[in-house]
Amino acid sequence: MFKYITTISLIIISFISEAAPDTQLLKRLDLERTLFSEQYEKFVLNNQDILYVMQENTTAITLGVAVMIAESGTSVIGQNGLRPLATQLNDLGWVTILMPAPDVAFLPSLQEPLKPDSPQSAEQAGGEVTESTSAKDEIAEFPPPRNRSRSVESQLNKAAFLKHEEELIALLQESATRAANYPGFFLVIAQGTSAAWMTKIYAEKRLETPDALVTISPFWPDRKLNDTLPTLIAQTPMPVLDLYSESDNEWSLQTVKHREVSAIKALKLQYRQRKMLGFTNINHSSLYLSKEIYGWTSYMGW
């Protein structure tokens, strides 16, 4: 009997592990079960309901609208999301729109995984096949993040990367439509990989430029793409507040100094890089972050 139950359990576990989860559905259900129906809104994108949270400012004067996109895979109302920061910004005069980030670039493949050392696996990951280097040379050239195999340089598939970018553009276009109903400035705040994508999108002028961009710990889990972030930040046409902390992952920390240097060399106006001190969770640092944003925008005369 025990052997029979064990076999059934293994079959169920195997089936679950092979099925790609519908993360957008899971996040939508999470939001619907946590908030009342009047606390969130939705629109249709690619035949799918997208739920977002819009919060009015609590002050007499509206400074503008802040569109906020957290790290991919993070729920709009999750503990590591940006909702605590949104609440703080509401008290400073901002209307906030919390949008869910796409997950398409990070969904697991149902195909049989290849060995990371094989040329074919590198090609499928969207990277180029290069000659192997010694571990010593690789560490000297680009230290790998913690808990990452040095033979794996990319976690992003090229086609999925581009699709993720297109979905982000569509989300921002919807946000801009809703922001047009309010007076004041248009601010975009993005976290993690979302911050990296927004930097690229605005540097390439694929969207109408906002009044300012706030990036929180930007990175891509891809060596070559991550190396382009400093140049992209320097090419953005709007003011940028570049926030980071010592608790960021290695991908983000590797470009911190280069981001600042690139902005300085490009004579980028209104660029400010700030280190968040003593915080490991954005939920705990929301008051600190809101003050950094308030100080920066006040310096610009907002």
- CATH number of 285's domain: 3.40.50.1820
Strand 94-99 with 64-69, pairing: parallel
Question: Within a domain: residue 180?
Answer: yes
Question: How many Cβ atoms are within 10 Å of 46's Cβ, its own excluded?
Answer: 9
| Helical packing angle, 158-179 and 192-203, nearest 10° | 80
Q: What pLDDT is stored for residue 6 in this prediction?
A: 42
Residue 68 in any domain: the answer is yes
The predicted pLDDT at position 274 comes to: 95
Q: Is 88 a member of any domain?
A: yes
Backbone angles phi, psi at 20, to 5 degrees: -75, 125
How many structural domains is the chain composed of? Answer: 1
Residues near 223 by Cβ (< 8 Å), separated by ≥ 6? 127, 142, 153, 154
Q: Dmax over Cα atoms in the chain, in whole Å? A: 74
**Residue 277: what pLDDT?**
79
DSSP 168-203: HHHHHHHHHHHHTTS-SEEEEEEEHHHHHHHHHHHH
Q: Is residue 2 part of a domain?
A: no
168: domain range?
24-106+156-299
In a domain, 91, yes or no: yes
Predicted structure pTM score: 0.77
CA distance 153 to 139: 12
Each residue's pLDDT, cut to its tens digit, for the chain (302 residues) gives 544 444 444 444 444 444 445 566 666 666 666 665 667 688 787 778 888 999 999 999 999 999 999 998 888 777 778 999 999 999 999 999 999 998 877 765 444 344 444 444 444 444 443 333 333 333 333 334 444 434 345 667 888 999 999 999 999 999 999 999 999 999 999 999 999 999 999 999 999 999 999 999 999 999 999 999 999 999 999 999 999 998 899 999 999 999 999 999 999 999 999 998 766 566 668 888 999 999 999 999 99
Q: What is the model's pLDDT at position 119?
A: 45
In a domain, 117, yes or no: no
The answer to whether residue 11 sits within a structural domain is no
Q: What is the Cα–Cα distance from 164 to 197, expressed in whole angstroms? A: 9
Inside any domain, residue 253:
yes
pLDDT value at residue 37: 66
